[in-house]
Homo-oligomer: A and B are copies of this chain.
């Protein structure tokens, strides 16, 4: 029977030009490779080399064989690669969310329900998330609304509400509540990777200059600057109140969010998700 091994050896020889060099690259003794190529010829019942006493070169058949061997070996490697990828995907739940906060409770729930699964999560905009329900980029998607698709199983995850954090000296710090428009035009601090929160506030506060800082810098700037920033009830519960800041609720309906976890019904069973 023809062996993939031998085809790889043939390719190596074609690349190296001599049996010696190829044998070394293959971590094989030269006589072993010589015999292996003889077996290959016998197996194919076709001579692949022209041999002088001291020299061995691919003949016309050999050149053709190399072409084919390349394809066969590549396909075999591709097979292995694709299988490993699929196997990994079988043990991974890809979660896409429109915002970070709902993942804080959802991901541990999934981990507990599917202890043998790897969970990978990403923050993506709403367009990407809705498309992904069709192309299966994500098995589970967190949206700020519940799509009406009958193939989907949707569960309400909880709510999130947005707040300003203002330095106590801020003129509006004593208000019971505010609207986004009340601070429009000022400069504000923003965390990165806020998902759909970014577009929401940018649209409602078009004249505001947002300074996006990584989390570490953000915390420092909240502490040592008077720039207003945002928190939500969920982030407050997770991280506690920011130091030396007044937290003021925002009344706009567009920042009162209800999250829904959605996945295909048949997947819900396989993933054992108690949605």
- A75 and B75 CA atoms in complex are apart in Å by 9
Answer whether residue A116 sits at the interface, using C-beta atoms and an 8 A cutoff. Answer: no
The yes or no answer to A100 lying at the interface (CB within 8 A) is no
Instruction: Report the minimal beta-carbon distance from A116 to chain B, rounded to whole angstroms.
Output: 13
> Interface residue tally of chain A, by bracket?
20 to 34
Tell which of B3, B4, B8, B60 touches A86, judged by Cβ atoms closer than 8 Å. Answer: B60
Asked whether any CB of chain B lies closer than 8 Å to the CB of A83, the reply is: yes
**Complex Cα spacing A79 to B75, Å:** 13
A8 proximity list for chain B (CB < 8 A): 1
**Of the residues B1, B64, B78, B90, contact of A61 by C-beta under 8 Å:** B90
Residues from chain B with Cβ under 8 Å of A86 in the complex: 46, 60-61, 64
Asked if A225 lies at the interface with its beta carbon under 8 angstroms from chain B, I say: no
Residues of B contacting A3 in the complex (Cβ-Cβ under 8 angstroms): 3-5
- Residues 11-33 of A, flagged 1 when their CB comes within 8 A of B and 0 if not, give 00000000000000000000000
A60-91 CB contact bits vs B (8 Å, 1 = yes)?
A: 11001100110110011011101110110010
A185 to chain B, nearest CB (A): 56
User: Is A52 an interface residue, CB under 8 A from the partner?
Assistant: no
Query: Among the interface residues A4, A64, A84, which one has the most CB atoms of the partner chain B within 10 A?
Result: A4
A47 within 8 A of B: yes
Question: Complex formed: what's the CA distance from A82 to B66 in Å?
Answer: 12
Out of B7, B47, B68, B84, which one reaches A46, CB within 8 Å? B84
What's the least CB distance linking A6 to chain B, in Å?
10
B65–A72 contact, CB under 8 A?
Answer: no
Copies in the complex: 2
**Residue in B closest to A67 when the chains form the complex, CB atoms:** B79
Q: Is A56 among interface residues, defined by CB-CB distance under 8 A?
A: no
CB of A31 to closest CB in B, whole Å: 19
Q: A68 touches which one: B60, B79, B87 (CB < 8 A)?
A: B79
What chain B residues lie within 8 Å of A47 (beta carbons)? 87
A71 touches B75 (CB 8 A): yes
Closest beta carbon of chain B to A220's beta carbon, Å:
46
CB distance from A257 to the nearest CB of B (A): 37
A44 within 8 A of B: yes
Interchain CA distance A65-B7 in the complex, whole Å: 20
Give the Cβ gap from A161 to chain B, nearest Cβ, in Å: 43
Residues of A at the B interface (CB closer than 8 Å) are 1-5, 7-8, 44-47, 60-61, 64-65, 68-69, 71-72, 75-76, 78-80, 82-84, 86-87, 90
